[in-house]
């Protein structure tokens, strides 16, 4: 790993005592996590542990029943994805959230189209910008005119990532970004995460692959049955410790 | 954008690829041309006369205007079954405003030039409001559009009935009737002027698009392909004007016009009808709707929502408000169609627009709008409306029995969708 993270200042994001229930089932129960600039925090847990639900409160897809979200130490209200974007929070969803029938440029700028002075969509400029950023992220990308339906999993993923990166995200949420990818494309995402870290972004990474978490994350927060098992510094623990947290819901002795 | 062509790096193959024409659209145009030629042969050349082409265009306008709005509704995975009834309500409102409310209620003399604009504005407001209400029920209360508009089909048909007590209201205002076709045409000179402007605008649009692409160093078509395309489009526009101008106003009618002015008609005087105002209205609607679909954020959001509603919502698109806007636009277009339909009849009748919802949906679907959402074009829907109308009036001219006419139209609808499915599979992901 690179230089240690400075956690003395104000965290970039602080989620305090977040709870959300669906029809009596507590999907997230009084969970607190935080994130510092230049840090990658992994969120782990079984399916249904509540990690996606928790993070959706930050991205604006859900609204928490109770608890506070603080950005740079200030309490904020996030009611919908538009609010989240206003705080420079960008999300790459597991389902990629792309409109299959539109091309890469239309998807990249969806909801934030570039317009001409007359208020019309400036297709040419959006395509030019898309070519620029894709040249940086995935130089092999060529299918600018095709609907994203025609793209491979990796190409679609690079469109989704480009969307988050282009708009100068400060807080990035990645929900299993490598789930649908081959080895080469997974490496590409890993390199990108390192690059974004250096730029000072804070990243929440939802992952099932413990190996990826050990490689990419600075800290790992483990959830089970809607509750936080604990947050550990990845340097201090082994794969097995984290596995134990996920399966048994017990914090390892030495890191506790 | 729905039918984006192959990647920029793909090798150019056929002439169609070079021209970057949509093969699906070409297929439809081809089918339409074949249809016209067959009817022309069977009717001994009566189908492709200026007179019949003129009639075909004015008969198509009402359904075609609504079909452009239906494209947006269907693209966002909704449906509107109430358009025929909504048209009737708008028509009833406009008829009552011009024959009862203004003359009797407010004492405006019949024939006053203010009557038509007031009636039309009233109708447009009512149509837009009802559409927006439908959209609110669908978007904000999450009632399926099928149910909302199925209810609307009954409600608005009978609101129209109630407003007019089921009576036929007419004759409608003279100025209002200008939107009806034969009662309102531009004449030969103005038709040529409009045609020339339209042709120039189309050619300019092609070349402006080319310059824009070049300024960003994107690949462009070869120069000859752009030139050929420009020539084809300009030729089609001017040819259409020439045909409409060739339809002569009947002598008896001309004589009446001259007599009304207190003049004597010179011997051998002739005059062409030219472009009907209703057709001009349809062309304007088509241009505006195409610009909305391709060049505005609203259009972007409509197609994105149709492709993946969750993605659109997560990308910050307010899909509920979008639904209200789409249905309000549909309502506005129903009112516009009501102007054309009522003024073509010269009166409001209780059964105006009956079954139009099915014709409109069929036109949009034949025109390539996918019920699964995300795909559809404005020009396709208009062509779909034209194909349906040609089939119907062609069969009537040939003397096909009424039941068989509808049977054929029904079969064509299903077959068109089947061909479309096969085409899309063959063409790969589209």
Each residue's pLDDT tens digit, B308-362: 998 898 888 899 999 999 999 999 999 999 999 999 999 999 999 999 999 999 9
- Which of B209, B301, B307 should we substitute to test contact with A (largest number of A Cβ atoms within 10 Å)? B307
Q: Examine the domain organization and report whether A197 and A139 are in the same domain.
A: no
Q: Residue B428's pLDDT is what?
A: 59
Q: Examine the domain organization and report whether A54 and A27 are in the same domain.
A: yes
**If we measure between CA atoms, which residue out of B260, B297, B350, B318 comes closest to residue A126?**
B297
- Please classify residue A91 by burial: count the beta carbons closer than 10 Å to its beta carbon, then call 0-12 exposed, 13-18 middle and 19+ buried: buried
- The CATH number given to B23-184+278-426 is 1.10.3470
Q: Examine the domain organization and report whether A32 and A51 are in the same domain.
A: yes
Q: Examine the domain organization and report whether A192 and A253 are in the same domain.
A: yes
**Residue stretches of chain B with pLDDT short of 50:** 1-12, 429-430
Which uninterrupted H or E stretch holds A220? strand A219-224
Residues of chain B with Cβ-Cβ distance to A102 below 8 Å are: 1, 300, 303-304, 307
- Contact in structure between B105 and B173 (CB atoms under 8 Å): no
Q: Examine the domain organization and report whether A41 and A158 are in the same domain.
A: no
Contact B216 A111 (CB under 8 A): no
User: How many of the other CB atoms lie within 10 Å of CB of A180?
Assistant: 16
Q: Would you call B430 an interface residue with chain A, using a CB distance cutoff of 8 Å?
A: yes
- Count of domains in chain A? 2
User: Is A129 among the domain residues?
Assistant: yes
Place of tokens 């034209």: B386
Provide the 3-class DSSP secondary structure of residue B292: helix
Q: Would you call B179 an interface residue with chain A, using a CB distance cutoff of 8 Å?
A: no
User: Is A93 among the domain residues?
Assistant: no
Phi, psi for residue A175 in degrees, rounded to 5: -100, 100
| Distance between CA atoms of residues B211 and B163, nearest Å | 54
**If we measure between CA atoms, which residue out of B29, B54, B68, B22 comes closest to residue B286?**
B68
Question: Taking the domains of chain B in order of start, what are their residue ranges?
Answer: 23-184+278-426, 185-275
| Bridge partners, A222 (sequence order) | A44, A230
Structure tokens at B308: 């993946």
Q: Examine the domain organization and report whether A72 and A129 are in the same domain.
A: no
Q: Examine the domain organization and report whether A57 and A180 are in the same domain.
A: yes
- CATH number of the domain enclosing A27: 3.40.50.300
Q: Examine the domain organization and report whether A147 and A177 are in the same domain.
A: no
Q: Residue A3's pLDDT is what?
A: 59
Q: Examine the domain organization and report whether A62 and A117 are in the same domain.
A: no
Q: Examine the domain organization and report whether A144 and A24 are in the same domain.
A: no
End of a domain among A114, A136, A168?
A: A168
End of a domain among A168, A194, A227?
A: A168
**3-state secondary structure string across chain A:** CCCCCCCCCCCCEEEEEEEEEECCEEEEEEEEEEECCCCEEEEECCCCCCHHHHHHHHHCCCCCCEEEEEECCEEECCCCHHHHHHCCEEEECCCCCCCCCCEHHHHHCCCCCCECCCCCECHHHHHHHHHHHHHHHCCCCCCCCCEHHHCCHHHHHHHHHHHHHHCCCCEEEEECCCCCCCHHHHHHHHHHHHHHHHCCCEEEEECCCHHHHHHHCCEEEEEECCEEEEEEEHHHCCHHHHHHHHHHCCCCCCCC
Which uninterrupted H or E stretch holds B380? helix B378-398
- Contact in structure between A231 and A223 (CB atoms under 8 Å): no
User: Is A12 among the domain residues?
Assistant: yes
**If we measure between CA atoms, which residue out of A142, A147, A115, A117 comes closest to residue A130?**
A142
| Distance between CA atoms of residues B345 and A72, nearest Å | 68
Say what the alpha-carbon torsion angle A191, A194, A196, A201 is, to the nearest 10 degrees.
150
Q: Examine the domain organization and report whether A176 and A212 are in the same domain.
A: yes
Number of helices (H) and strands (E) in chain A: give both, helices first.
8, 10
B165: left (phi over 0), alpha (psi -120 to 50) or beta: left
Residues of chain B with Cβ-Cβ distance to A85 below 8 Å are: 316
Contact A61 B306 (CB under 8 A): no
User: Is A245 among the domain residues?
Assistant: yes
Q: Examine the domain organization and report whether A124 and A174 are in the same domain.
A: no
Global ipTM: 0.80
Chain A residues in contact with chain B using a Cβ-Cβ cutoff of 8 Å = 59, 61, 80-82, 85, 91, 93, 95-103, 106-107, 110-113, 115, 119-121, 123-125, 127-128, 142-147, 149-150
End of a domain among A168, A198, A221?
A: A168
pLDDT tens, residue order, chain A (256 aa): 455 677 778 889 999 999 999 888 889 999 999 999 989 999 998 888 888 889 989 988 888 999 999 998 899 999 888 888 889 898 887 666 788 889 999 999 988 889 888 889 888 889 888 998 888 777 778 888 888 888 887 788 888 888 888 888 889 998 888 777 778 778 878 888 888 888 888 999 998 888 888 888 999 999 998 889 989 888 888 888 888 888 888 777 654 4
- A30 is in which domain, residue-wise? 1-88+169-256
């Amino acid at each position: 790993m690179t230089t240690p993270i400075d956690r003395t200042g104000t965290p970039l994001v602080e989620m305090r005592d977040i709870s959300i229930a669906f029809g009596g089932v507590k999907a997230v129960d009084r969970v607190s996590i935080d994130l510092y600039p230049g840090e990658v925090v992994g969120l782990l847990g079984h399916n249904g542990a509540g990690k996606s639900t928790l993070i959706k409160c930050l991205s604006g897809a859900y609204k928490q029943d109770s608890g506070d979200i603080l950005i740079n130490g200030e309490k904020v209200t996030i009611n919908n994805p538009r609010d989240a974007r206003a705080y420079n929070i960008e999300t790459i969803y597991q389902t990629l959230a792309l409109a299959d029938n539109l091309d890469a440029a239309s998807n990249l700028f969806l909801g934030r189209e570039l317009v001409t002075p007359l208020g019309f969509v400036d297709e040419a400029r959006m395509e030019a910008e898309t070519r620029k950023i894709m040249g940086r992220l995935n130089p092999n990308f060529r299918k600018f005119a095709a609907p994203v339906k025609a793209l491979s999993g990796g190409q679609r993923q690079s469109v989704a990532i480009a969307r988050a990166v282009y708009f100068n995200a400060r807080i990035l949420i990645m929900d299993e970004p490598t789930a649908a990818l081959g080895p080469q494309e997974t490496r590409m995402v890993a390199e990108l995460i390192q690059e974004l870290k250096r730029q000072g972004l804070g990243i929440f990474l939802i992952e099932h692959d413990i190996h990826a978490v050990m490689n990419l994350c600075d800290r790992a927060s483990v959830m089970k049955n809607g509750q936080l098992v604990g947050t550990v510094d990845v340097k201090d623990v082994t794969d097995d410790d984290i596995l134990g947290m996920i399966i048994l819901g017990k914090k390892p002795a030495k890191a506790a | 954008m729905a039918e984006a062509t192959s990647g920029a790096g793909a090798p150019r193959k056929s002439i169609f690829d070079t021209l970057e024409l949509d093969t699906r659209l070409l297929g439809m145009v081809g089918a339409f041309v074949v249809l016209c030629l067959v009817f022309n042969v069977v009717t001994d050349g009566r189908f492709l006369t200026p007179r019949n082409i003129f009639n075909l265009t004015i008969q198509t306008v009402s359904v075609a205007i609504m079909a452009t709005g239906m494209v947006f509704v269907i693209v966002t995975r909704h449906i509107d079954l109430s358009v025929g009834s909504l048209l009737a309500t708008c028509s009833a409102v406009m008829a009552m405003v011009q024959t009862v409310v203004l003359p009797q209620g407010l004492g405006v003399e019949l024939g006053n030039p203010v009557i038509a604009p007031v009636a039309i504005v009233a109708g447009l407001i009512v149509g837009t409001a009802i559409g927006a209400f439908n959209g609110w029920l669908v978007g904000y209360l999450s009632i399926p559009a099928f149910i909302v508009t199925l209810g609307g089909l009954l409600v608005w048909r009978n609101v129209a009935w109630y407003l007019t007590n089921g009576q036929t209201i007419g004759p409608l205002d003279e100025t209002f009737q200008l939107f009806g076709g034969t009662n309102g045409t531009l004449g030969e000179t103005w038709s040529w002027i409009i045609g020339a402007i339209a042709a120039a605008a189309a050619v300019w649009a092609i070349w402006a698009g080319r310059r824009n692409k070049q300024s960003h160093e994107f690949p462009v078509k070869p120069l000859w392909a752009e030139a050929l395309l420009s020539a084809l489009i300009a030729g089609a526009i001017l040819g259409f004007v020439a045909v409409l101008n060739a339809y002569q106003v009947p002598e008896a009618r001309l004589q009446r016009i001259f007599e009304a002015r207190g003049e004597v008609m010179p011997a051998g005087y002739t005059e062409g009808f030219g472009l009907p105002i209703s057709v001009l209205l349809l062309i304007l609607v088509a241009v505006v709707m195409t610009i909305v679909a391709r060049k505005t954020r609203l259009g972007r959001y409509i197609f994105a929502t149709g492709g993946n509603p969750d993605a659109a919502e997560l990308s910050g698109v307010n899909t509920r408000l979008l639904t209200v806007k789409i249905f309000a636009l549909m309502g506005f277009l129903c009112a516009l169609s009501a102007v054309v339909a009522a003024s073509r009849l010269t009166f409001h009748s209780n059964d105006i627009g009956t079954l139009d919802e099915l014709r409109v949906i069929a036109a949009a679907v034949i025109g390539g709008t996918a019920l699964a959402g995300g795909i559809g074009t404005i020009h396709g829907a208009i062509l779909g409306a034209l194909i349906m109308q040609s089939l119907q009036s062609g069969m009537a001219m040939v003397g096909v029995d009424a039941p068989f006419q509808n049977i054929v139209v029904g079969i064509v609808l299903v077959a068109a969708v089947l061909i479309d499915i096969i085409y899309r599979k063959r063409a790969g992901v589209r």
